Amino acid sequence: MLVSSAEAVSFRDSEREQFAKPSHPYRFAHHLKGPYAVLAKFTPEESPIEKAELMDFRFNCITQFIPCKNEREILAEGSNLLEVRQ
């Protein structure tokens, strides 16, 4: 499983057309190479609160004896964005 979150100066045109929604113009999430990888991306215009949520990784998922089984457990806000998009 791959979970990633990043700030970008701006979105590429293809990202804006494919993934960004009018209700969330400064952030998006999408699956990378299948259902077990998620990328959350945002621009500097996004609110500080939302940026913090998009960067809120639950690192204990990879350090505990039984690891987490899905991206929602690792990066909840990224998974929430995926659900809004679909």
Domain membership of residue 75 as a residue range: 2-85
Partners of residue 28 on adjacent β-strands? 41
pLDDT digits (tens, 9 = 90+) for 30-56: 887 766 788 899 999 999 999 999 999
CB atoms within 10 A of CB 55: 15
User: Residue 2 pLDDT more than 60?
Assistant: yes
Report the range out of 11-15, 18-22, 67-71, 76-80 with the highest average pLDDT.
11-15
Q: Give how many domains the chain has, as a whole number.
A: 1
CB 26 within 8 Å of CB 40:
no
Q: What's the gap between Cα 71 and its chain centre? A: 9
Q: Which of 2-11, 32-41, 60-69 has the lowest mean pLDDT?
A: 32-41
* pLDDT for 86: 53
For residue 77, the number of C-alpha atoms closer than 13 Å in the C-beta half-sphere is 19
Percent residues over pLDDT 90 in the chain: 36
Q: For residue 60, what are its two tokens?
A: 């204990």
